[in-house]
Amino acid sequence: MAKHNFRTFILWTLALLMLPSTMWAENGSDLWLRYKGSNTAQVILSKGLKSSPTLRIAMNELNSNWTGNETITLQRTAHGGDKPESFTLTRTAQGITLASPSDAGMLYASYTLLRLQQTGQLSRLTPNNPISESPQNDVRILNHWDNPNGTVERGYAGASLWKWDAIPVKAKSGKQAKWNDTALQARIEQYARANASVGINATVLNNVNAKPLMLSADMIGKAASIADILRPYGMRVYLAVNFGSPHGLGGLDTADPLNPEVIKWWKNKVDSIYQLIPDFGGFLVKANSEGEPGPMDYGRTHVDGANMLADALAPHKGIVMWRAFVYAPGSKDRANQAYEEFMPLDGKFRDNVTIQIKNGPIDFQPREAVSPLLFSMKHTRMMPEFQITQEYTGHSIHTCYLAPMWKEFFHTLQIPAASDMANDKNDMRLIAGVANIGDDINWCGNDLAQANWYAFGRLAWNEQLTSEEIAREFLMQTFTADPQFVDPMTALLMHSRETVVSYMMPLGLHHIFAGGHHYGPEPWYAPRGSREDWLPRYYHRADSLGIGFDRTSKGSRNTQQYPEPLRSLYDNINTCPENLILWFHHASWDYLMQDGLTLWQNLCYKYETGAREAEQFVEVWQQMKPYVDSERYESMLWRFQRQARDAWWWHDACILYFQQFSQRPIPADITAPRFQLDQLMKFHIPIDNYRAPKPEQLP
């Protein structure tokens, strides 16, 4: 059998000192903000620096949580060309100075100093070694897919964080509203605190599949009340808008972006928003995609729609984030469509329009090639969109640390020559992540899924951080700094994404999930009347000759959308990275891969490896029991056990299904499938219970 990629770090666990089981309870609500300060710090403002709500938060965090004896001084510096949020930490014999051009920068500096303390890295800060940081992205934004009715699309951590019925409406006078639900108010403030601690500075409150209702006067007033809580933490509020709102909400008979009445309606609506939210960030728009209304309904273009909204926002310095997630039935290749639709529009968008582009050209798959559009538009501002919520990587049940995926994305972007990547709209950088946050007490449903929220913030601030650095930071702050916990769990997190890819869709396979919930495997899913590009067979294309989607110059020509050297690399099956081979090539079942085994054999071994590694995760976690409180231990034990069971379901279902086409024997050292294919095709895995029933209660 081929060697497992995952080196059995289980050996770590066999050497661990077994201590009495931990018995305290911990619900996970504190996230990584588990400071143990002495409450004796002396924090002062430099001469001439006036207090503000943001500075008071910074001072309170340091006063409450710093354990040292030094005096900490917050100091304003001149902008001098630096980004306003940049900061410098300096240590002298007299104490530590946190200097920044802005209040928000001093708040970020405060959290950075506390992070160094919590992770044992204060030795980095010496009189001869100040620490300076500046965010690589100006807008670091969470996209909430929350609906006005309290549901969350692709949410796996309970209902919406925003209890809209309980949020007060801010008056037109601008006076802050009185909150009757103080627990909700405190929860939203804790959300802001967690984001500020990792550098996230913006949020879209509602679903990209937006309802016109979100622009009603009451909902804007409620959004303003949320904005008042987030503002002191350096966060700005944005709204996703339904392009048809002038018709659906405003009473007009059209939403044509060139219609004067429509233009006037949007201008008035924008003005009313800024009356209540003076630092409102702008709009996120999903238009002419998956049935959402857009300018093309009226014979217009994305440029017409985006620029009309941009003109309404421009006097207030607001921006439009216009999503490039578009596809239409009947296209030759769904992966081609964003490029084909947006490249002819390059250079025609207003300066305050940003095209928001998913990291891959399909839809947040466990592994995708980077979207070619991100390499190509030279005269239009672009921003990548990641999915923190695990729609395609096991929801809040499976542990899948996503930082390695995002680092893979950043690395691929750097492969073409810098001159080929030049963009003349580089005055502002933005990055978005679809949030995995709900009203569950531990925020994310899965205590280890908090690592993905944390990692997004850290990488949005500094793309050069390594996945391992971030994982260690998270574990030390969220659980314990004991190396006998941190070392094996870092190894587990670091390999978890590759494990998920192995037991779900190895070698570049993609989108073979069950329809609707996108959790279990259903490569056979094909209900009558469905769109072809919503069906797994559209993507895996398995037949008697081979498997995979031919996107080469002889197929859909998707490879030709990439710059060199990626274009040639992907186009040739012999140079294409093997982890993407079935993404770009329809390969023969007998194609010999680098290890000398056939593609069919490799496919089988990948499924086997992934399932066995998922079982090892259970063993590793069981050895962590002495270091974890009982509540989080039991919750995660169930999830690891469920993940292992489901990994074997993927293993059996995919191997048996694809064997129909390959007509090759399953390698002798592969675990024999436990069920027949017809049994698996009739079984639908339960996905509606995230509250940890006992494993023996599962079907």
Give 331-380 pLDDT, tens digit per residue: 789 999 999 999 999 999 999 999 999 999 999 999 999 999 999 999 99
**Residue 612 lies inside a defined structural domain of this protein:** yes
Same domain? 183 vs 313:
yes
pLDDT (average), residues 510-528: 94
pLDDT tens profile 447-492: 999 999 999 999 999 999 999 999 999 999 999 999 999 999 999 9
Of 654, 579, 660, nearest to 611 (Cα)? 654
467 found inside a domain: no
Quick one: 86 and 171 in the same domain? no
For 628-650, how does the pLDDT look when each residue is reduced to its tens digit (9 = 90+)?
A: 999 999 999 999 999 999 999 99
pLDDT of amino acid 691: 55
- Average pLDDT score over residue span 585-603: 98
Helix-helix angle 467-478:483-504, to 10 degrees = 120
pLDDT at 144: 98
Phi, psi of 323 (to 5 degrees): -75, 140
Report the pLDDT value the prediction gives residue 501, as an integer from 0 to 100. Answer: 98
pLDDT for residue 264 is more than 80: yes
Which of 405, 431, 461 is a domain's end point? 461
50 in the same domain as 24: no
Q: What is the DSSP string of 309-334?
A: HHHHHGGGT-EEEEE-----TT-S-G
pLDDT of 699 over the 70 cut: no
Q: What is the pLDDT of residue 167?
A: 98
Residue where one domain finishes, among candidates 433, 461, 489: 461
279 with 300, same domain: the answer is yes
The average pLDDT across 235-254 equals 97
Residue 294 has pLDDT above 80, yes or no: yes
The answer to whether position 332 is within a domain reads: yes
pTM for this predicted structure: 0.95
Task: Summarize pLDDT for 114-132 with one digit per residue, the tens.
Answer: 999 999 999 999 999 999 9
Query: Does residue 566 lie within any of the structural domains?
Result: no
Domain identity same for 237 and 349: yes
Is the pLDDT at 278 greater than 80? The verdict is yes
CATH of residue 281? 3.20.20.80
| Domain span holding position 123 | 31-133
Predicted local confidence at residue 236, as pLDDT: 98
Tell whether 348 is covered by a domain.
yes
Beta pairing, strands 353-358 & 381-387: parallel
Across 61-87, average pLDDT: 90
Q: How many CB atoms lie within 10 A of CB 614?
A: 29
Q: Tell me what pLDDT residue 426 has.
A: 85
Is pLDDT at 678 greater than 50 in this prediction? yes
Smallest CA-to-CA distance from 456 within 404, 494, 498, 415 is with 404
381-404 pLDDT, tens digit each:
999 999 999 999 999 999 999 999
Residue 453 maps to a domain: yes
- Residues 281 and 339 reside in one and the same domain: yes
Q: Total domain count for the chain?
A: 3
Instruction: Report which DSSP code applies to 359.
Output: S
State residue 41's pLDDT score: 83
Query: What was the pLDDT predicted at 688?
Result: 61
Identify the helix (H) or strand (E) that includes residue 12. helix 10-14
379: left (phi over 0), alpha (psi -120 to 50) or beta: alpha
Strand order in the sheet with 95-100: 42-45, 71-76, 95-100, 87-92, 131-133
User: Would residue 560 count as lying in a domain?
Assistant: no
Q: Is the predicted pLDDT of residue 689 greater than 80, yes or no?
A: no
CATH number for the domain harbouring residue 84: 3.30.379.10
Task: Tell me what the mean pLDDT of segment 543-559 comes to.
Answer: 98
Based on the fold, state whether residues 154 and 292 are members of the same structural domain: yes
Write out the catalytic residue numbers.
Answer: 290, 363, 391
Residue-wise pLDDT for 132-191, tens only, equals 999 999 999 999 999 999 999 999 999 999 999 999 999 988 888 899 999 999 999 999
Same domain, 25 and 51: no
Specify the pLDDT at position 420: 82
72/190 same-domain check: no
| Reported confidence tier of residue 78, pLDDT bands at 50, 70, 90 | confident
pLDDT of residue 21 exceeding 50: no
Which CATH number goes with the domain that contains 9? 3.90.1330.10
Residue 170 — left, alpha, or beta (φ > 0 → left; ψ -120 to 50 → alpha)? beta
Mean pLDDT of the chain: 93
- Residue 328's pLDDT is what? 78
Q: Is residue 293 part of a domain?
A: yes
pLDDT reported for residue 698: 38
Closest by Cα among 405, 414, 398, 413 to 433: 405
504 shares its domain with 608:
yes
Among 461, 489, 515, the domain-final residue is: 461
